[in-house]
């Protein structure tokens, strides 16, 4: 696992927090909430990609193949 993915997730979190705070100060609470949800979705896609890679690695390591092909 690369350390870069942790930095990417942290960067998305920091940017989302800053934009959310700026929008809340500008009385745009709805858009701040949408921005926070968008940041969460981006991070979830990153994590899902990592989990898919983990399952592929485990399948290869233990010799498990799809039986329904």
Distance CA 21, CA 68 (A): 50
Determine the pLDDT at residue 2. Answer: 79
Q: What residues make up the domain containing 34?
A: 4-62
> Comparing 28 with 69, which gets the higher pLDDT?
28
69 within a domain of the structure (yes/no): no
Q: In this predicted model, what pLDDT tens digit does every residue of 9-66 receive, in sequence order?
A: 999 999 999 999 999 999 999 999 999 999 999 999 999 999 999 988 888 888 766 6
Task: State the pLDDT at residue 56.
Answer: 87
Rounded CA separation 65/51 (Å): 17
Distance CA(45)–CA(32), nearest Å, equals 20
Rg value, the chain, Cα: 18
Q: What is the model's pLDDT at position 59?
A: 84
Residues 6+ apart with CB under 8 A from 11: none
CA distance 55 to 50: 9
pTM: 0.78
Asked if residue 17 is part of any domain, the answer here is: yes
Whether 14 maps to a domain, the answer reads yes
């Amino acid at each position: 696992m690369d350390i870069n993915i942790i930095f990417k997730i942290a960067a998305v979190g920091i940017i989302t927090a800053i934009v959310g705070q700026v929008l809340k100060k500008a009385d745009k609470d709805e858009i701040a909430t949408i921005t926070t949800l968008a940041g969460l979705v981006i991070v979830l896609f990153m994590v899902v990609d990592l989990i898919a890679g983990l399952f592929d690695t485990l399948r290869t390591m233990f010799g498990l193949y799809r039986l329904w092909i």
